[in-house]
Amino acid sequence: MDIKDCFFLGKIVKKYSFKGELLIKLDTDEPDLYENLDSILVDLRGTLVPFFIESSQLHKSELLRVKFEDVDTEGDADALIKSATYLPLTVLPKLADDKFYFHEIIGFKIEDKTFGHVGIITGVNDMTSQSLFEIDRDGIQILIPMNDQFISKVDKPNKTIFVDTPEGLIDLYLEE
């Protein structure tokens, strides 16, 4: 399975016990959705390797304590620390029409109520305190906060997100 067919679940951050148990820091708002997984994909030097889960449970809200099959020693566990974990996109729960996963809006158009066509979403920056749409407008990058007050409509069938941004926000990026 290719990484493009998967979503990032979290990172293995440390050992939990001397019996090979590990803690995965989950990158999700709903950790309880992933408490009873049968398997997980672990990125080992660029290759996604499936690991079957013997047992798992949430540990301190955003950590998932897992015991993988055939990972029975501290040495086995050490080899997996700092590895990224993934799940197939097909595992993601279906969202309401006005909600979206970041990966599924890449390539969507952004239309602003006042400005008109802004550009195409090339990515989402979620490294800031507020996530941002990264938009390409003829080679110029425009950033728009992913704020519920700005998003007026998500049209998934037509791959368009309609926004109503504060006056002048988009123009800031276009002035020379």
Which CATH number describes the domain made up of 3-91? 2.40.30.60
CATH 1.10.3720.10 applies to domain 102-174? no
67: left (phi over 0), alpha (psi -120 to 50) or beta: beta
pTM of the model: 0.70
Closest among 156, 30, 150 to 98, alpha carbons compared? 156
Q: Where are the domains of the chain?
A: 3-91, 102-174
Mean pLDDT on 90-118: 88
Per residue in 112-156, pLDDT tens?
Answer: 999 999 999 999 998 888 899 999 999 999 999 998 899 999 999
